[in-house]
Amino acid sequence: MAINIAIDGPAGAGKSTIAKAVAKELEFIYVDTGAMYRAMALYLIRKGISPKEQEKMEEACKNAEISIVYEKGAQQVILDGENVTEYLRQEEVGNMASVSSVNPKIREKLVELQRVLASKENVVMDGRDIGTCVLPHADIKIYLTASARTRALRRCKELEEKGIACVLEEIEADINDRDYRDMHRDISPLKQAEDAVLLDSSNMNITEVKDEIIRLYKEAIA
């Protein structure tokens, strides 16, 4: 029987980094749901659709083909036959994903794909509503968070390492705005599942968070 680990939390909490590390150590499949939603957001942006045009989103998503493949152990996201992995971390794409992900038609298409995969394989899946909606029966649920300032500092460091200038206060304001939208959306709002373990990574490094989740996994299967 497949084992599922769900990791939820707000933007910039380190969910993807931690989920990848946990999946690698346990030799599970890492399913980056956020990347799938970002791929759909990129598709909508390329179609010239604005965040306010919900009906156009619903029509357009029917024709989008999104898949995840692994090449040399690394996840690659394929949109209509093109590897778009390198474009998915752009701020514009992230903001569109936050808006478009609440559209029922878009969610319906992607959630079905995620559930089918999780029913067949041992997976680590991260996102905003994995433990509450996508995989409500996951064996282990984690709610990973950190303060808005900590998340903004991490994001600025990422941008600066790429040679991109940033203003900390603007990044933090954007994170707070996205948190509010994610937590107050009508469909599957971001929240901690009742049976999820809360992990605040503000004062923890990647290894410490990963080791704690591995410990919880071993405790659960024991």
Binding region for ATP? 9-17
Q: How far apart are CA 88 and CA 71, in angstroms?
A: 17
3-state secondary structure 34-56: HHHHHHHHHHHHHCCCCCCCHHH
Single-letter code of the amino acid located at 57: M
> What tokens appear for 184 in the block?
């107050």
| Residue 5 backbone dihedrals phi, psi, to 5 degrees | -115, 120
Residue partners of 56: CB distance under 8 A and separation at least 6: 47, 49
Nearest residue to 36 (alpha-carbon basis) of 64, 7, 8, 71: 64
Identify any residues that bridge with 197 across adjacent strands, giving them in sequence order: 142
Distances (CA, A) of 18 to 6, 34, 122: 11, 14, 16
Point out the annotated binding site: 9-17
